Amino acid sequence: MTTNKTHKNVPDFRLSPTVDKVGVEERVARFQTRSIKNEAKMQGLKMVLNMIDLTTLEGKDTPGKVRQLCYKGQHLHDLHPGLPTVAAICVYPSMVAEAKKAVGDSGVKIASVSTAFPSGQAPMSIKITDTLYAVEHGADEIDMVISRGKFLAGDYNFVFDEIAAIKEACGKARLKVILETGELASLDQVRRASDIAMYAGADFIKTSTGKIQPAATMQVTYTMLCAIKDFYRTTGVKVGMKPAGGISNSKLALHNLVMVKETLGNDWLNNNWFRFGASSLANDVLMQIMKQETGHYQSADYFSID
């Protein structure tokens, strides 16, 4: 199958590997039984914070709200000494310039959704314009959505070419490809969509927009991690992973880190290659860190509401 001249040796995606659903469920259940000692738990919680894409994607977003979110993402150490920054602030394209100005030279990245997020229902010209606008205003990363209708209709060439075109429009910005796994119906389809995205040039593959349920289940994330592992073995190219939507507590986040470590290894345990798409997760992680340090939980209203 030929779909894009810049991608050689592209497989026939109709022949993507099938997924043993029972096997995946058994493996995920074992990840959830791993015990984590207190010292390792504290290290893991700080790692989770540094992997979060702190996100606001609402119609009522304002410059003031975005500035507040950026301040929080950069100044977690104000709440407790030694805490890292988050990985990125994720906003709509119209808020990129404001967010970029707010983070300054802190090292926090600015991510922008694009391609008619969250539905993806727009002409290709608009999706390209959406992406170029975000990049030109300072986005370091682009989170695009695939055309699920085309994918579910079996038009894999369309989906591949669309991702490749957005990747080109990104320039130096890294591309995260959102599969919207809650609409894909099966783990076999999740695996196929993962393969398409990676061969088309994704720097990350991402579960969800956060607007559709179910979102980032551990079964889906594990399936995508296995696809990344196979892609790396075949091509030597590393691809990142971003579960997003539904990961709102520290326990689940730590289970995800265990899963990454045991599936892909320590090389993926940093925010260059693993992210959490979240809005409420940061507050729960902060509460758990305070509990580890003091033996007591802080009131939830001690932390800002995002």
pLDDT, tens only, 165-205: 999 999 999 999 999 999 999 999 999 999 999 999 999 99
Which residues have CB under 8 Å from 217's CB, separation 6+? 181, 246
Do the domain assignments include residue 10?
A: no
Annotation says 206 is catalytic: yes
We report the CATH number of the domain holding residue 281 as 3.20.20.70
Do the domain assignments include residue 62?
A: yes
Q: How far apart are CA 159 and CA 13, in angstroms?
A: 11
Which of these is catalytic: 143, 195, 203, 284?
A: 143
Q: How far apart are CA 50 and CA 289, in angstroms?
A: 13
Which of these is catalytic: 72, 109, 176, 242?
A: 242
**Could you report the per-residue pLDDT of 260-285, keeping only the tens digit for each?**
999 999 999 999 999 999 878 999 99
| pLDDT band per the 50, 70, 90 thresholds, residue 2 | very low
Which residues have CB under 8 Å from 65's CB, separation 6+? 56
Question: What is the mean pLDDT of the segment spanning 25-46?
Answer: 91
Q: How many domains in the chain?
A: 1
Do the domain assignments include residue 11?
A: no
In a 10 Å sphere around its CB, with 0-12 CB exposed, 13-18 middle and 19+ buried, how is residue 102 labelled? buried
Q: How far apart are CA 190 and CA 199, in angstroms?
A: 14
Instruction: Write the Ramachandran bin of 142: left for phi over 0, alpha for psi from -120 to 50, otherwise beta.
Output: beta
| 302 has pLDDT over 60 | no
CB burial readout 14-27, b (16+ within 10 A) else e: eebeebeeeebeeb
- Residue 151 structural domain: 30-292
Q: Are 96 and 139 in contact (CB under 8 A)?
A: yes
pTM over 0.85: yes
| pLDDT band per the 50, 70, 90 thresholds, residue 22 | very high
> Residues of the chain with pLDDT > 70: what percent?
93
39 CA to centre of own chain: 26
If you write DSSP's letter for every residue of 81-141 in order, what string do you get? TT----SEEEE-GGGHHHHHHHHTTSS-EEEEE-SSTTT--S-HHHHHHHHHHHHHTT-SE
**Could you report the per-residue pLDDT of 224-266, keeping only the tens digit for each?**
999 999 999 999 999 999 999 989 899 999 999 999 999 999 9
Annotation says 242 is catalytic: yes
Do the domain assignments include residue 230?
A: yes
Do the domain assignments include residue 8?
A: no
| 5 has pLDDT over 70 | no
| 79 has pLDDT over 90 | no
Do the domain assignments include residue 135?
A: yes
| pLDDT band per the 50, 70, 90 thresholds, residue 92 | very high
Do the domain assignments include residue 199?
A: yes
Do the domain assignments include residue 2?
A: no
| pLDDT band per the 50, 70, 90 thresholds, residue 77 | confident
